[in-house]
Amino acid sequence: MTLSRLFGIAILVLTLNMTPSYGTETALVHSAIDPVSREGDWWSERHASVVEQAEKGEAELILIGDSITHGWDGKADLYGKYFGEYKPINMGFGGDRTQHVLWRLDHGEVDGISPKAAMLMIGTNNSNKEDNTAEEIADGIIAIVEKLREKLPETKVLILAIFPRGEGPSTQREKNAKASELASKIADDENVFFLDIGDEFLEDDQTLTKEIMPDLLHLSEKGYAIWGEAVAPKLKEIMGG
């Protein structure tokens, strides 16, 4: 084989490996798609509790995410109002990133269940500072969806756009919005759906109030009610009535 031929092949391989391709295996390996667990007794204990709930095989709905989803645990009345009929499992873990969700899915949290739907909202912790780009966060979200479709082929997946954070528009908000828009491309409106309810939390001038998010990230009781009301019709549709 000639030197020029070898050089051409090398360039082709390098190009393929450097080209992100959402929903395929050609995306570069980076932290957002590299499954990893976390340290801490509380995290391990919550993981074990979720696995135990899954083993009962009763769940018709699973909620997957970080502390914002985790927070439903402190809103029992609202949780029951909006999701109780679906025998839900709350798989939200404070501080989690996409890579932690991927690890959890590979370690028992969806074994033994076949829910009708999974509601996913993840990625805001990946967006801190320079930790991950919008493209990498989208890769992570898509990898989770693909993992769910692999392990739970009968389950419909509802991706929620990453919620707005901070008092007003910012580069971090823009990063999360871009990540959500990129991740939305995997939605086919048959098995995977995408819903952006971010505007429901915002004032007309695109600001957040502490009435909705006291720390401008985590939801108040009113914020969770807004979330529940915003997704209820779509969940009913996905759940088949």
Name the catalytic one among 31, 67, 106, 196: 67
Whole-angstrom distance, CA of residue 194 vs CA of residue 25: 22
Q: What would the two tokens of residue 155 be? A: 């389950």
Active site annotation includes 180: no
Whole-angstrom distance, CA of residue 88 vs CA of residue 69: 12
Would you give the end-to-end CA distance of the chain in angstroms? 63
Active site annotation includes 170: no
User: CB neighbours of 100 closer than 8 A, spacing ≥ 6?
Assistant: 35, 36, 37, 38, 93
User: CA 10 from chain center: how many Å?
Assistant: 36
Whole-angstrom distance, CA of residue 180 vs CA of residue 76: 28
User: CB neighbours of 153 closer than 8 A, spacing ≥ 6?
Assistant: none
User: CB neighbours of 79 closer than 8 A, spacing ≥ 6?
Assistant: 72, 73, 88, 90
Active site annotation includes 100: no
Name the catalytic one among 30, 106, 218, 220: 218
Among the listed residues 9, 30, 8, 7, the one whose alpha carbon sits nearest the alpha carbon of residue 20: 30
For residue 3, the tally of other CB atoms under 10 A from its CB is 7
Q: Which residues are catalytic?
A: 67, 215, 218
